[in-house]
């Protein structure tokens, strides 16, 4: 049995696409949303903050522009109505771009991150957090649950790791390393208490190479 989860250090710099102000804002969730599977973010911790970042700018954009993708229901409705050609569906609005910045930041002197994707971490959790898993449904744990739709499960795992301390009451982990459900993008959930530093901030232009790459995959038009 693994005596610890698989641990990993983050890259020197991480990318984050966020609203202009305030920079590097940690996400927080209320108790009502925390109890719902589809509300909030995947690794939010009730009563604490989590800062999300990605290893690449494409990973940062993949998480934030996915909501602009048209649904199959909408496309089917236009098709059934005989719309030929289909109207332009799936647009990244200019005002969305102009109100946001693409930023690079680092974690300063951080503790290690838990690799939530690693099978050895799953085995460790099955043994050490069996009560949490049993209460939330899965009798076992693998990537399908870690990347699955139940945010109460993933937030439960995040909160469990957030609460782990050493014999002196000091936290053991800086956050969680995970892979996006929206593609093969490496992402990081940084727990509050971890020092972060802003390194750069740039406007998001319609021609930004990373945004264009993600929009192409998603079939989106950029205003």
The reported pTM is 0.92
Task: Provide DSSP, the chain.
Answer: --SS--EEPPPS-EEEEEESSSTTPPB---HHHHTSTTSS-TT--TTS-EEEEESSHHHHHHHHHGGGSPPHHHHHHHHHTT-SSPPP--EE-HHHHHTEEEEEEEEESPPPEEETT-HHHHHHHHHHSHHHHHHHS-SS--HHHHTSS-HHHHHHHHHHHHT-B-TTS-B--SEEEEE-TTSS-EEEEEETTSEEEEEEEEE--TT-HHHHHHHHHHT-EE-
Q: pLDDT 10s per residue in the chain (223 long)?
A: 678 999 999 999 999 999 999 999 999 999 999 999 888 999 999 999 999 999 999 999 999 999 898 766 756 665 666 656 544 568 999 999 999 999 999 998 879 999 999 999 999 999 999 999 988 877 789 999 999 888 999 999 999 999 999 999 999 999 999 999 988 999 999 999 999 999 999 999 999 999 999 999 999 999 9
């Amino acid at each position: 049995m693994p005596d610890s989860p698989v641990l990993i250090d983050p890259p020197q710099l991480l990318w984050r696409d966020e609203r202009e102000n305030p920079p590097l804002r940690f996400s927080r969730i209320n108790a009502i949303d925390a109890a719902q599977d589809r509300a909030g973010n995947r690794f939010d911790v009730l009563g604490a903050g989590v800062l999300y970042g990605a290893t690449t700018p494409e990973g940062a954009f993949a998480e934030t522009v996915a909501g602009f993708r048209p649904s199959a229901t909408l496309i089917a409705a236009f098709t059934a109505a005989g719309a030929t050609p289909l109207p332009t569906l799936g647009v990244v609005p200019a005002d969305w771009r102009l109100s946001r910045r693409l930023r690079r930041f680092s974690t300063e002197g951080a503790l290690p991150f838990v690799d939530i994707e690693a099978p050895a971490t799953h085995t460790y959790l099955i043994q050490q957090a069996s009560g949490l898993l049993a209460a939330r449904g899965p009798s076992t744990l693998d990537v399908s649950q870690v990347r699955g739709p139940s945010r109460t499960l993933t937030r439960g795992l995040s909160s469990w790791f957030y609460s782990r301390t050493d014999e002196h009451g000091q936290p053991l982990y800086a956050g969680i390393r995970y892979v996006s459900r929206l593609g093969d993008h490496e992402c990081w959930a940084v727990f509050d208490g971890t020092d972060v530093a802003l390194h750069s901030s740039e406007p998001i232009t319609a021609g930004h190479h990373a945004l264009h790459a993600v929009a192409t995959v998603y079939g989106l038009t950029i205003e």
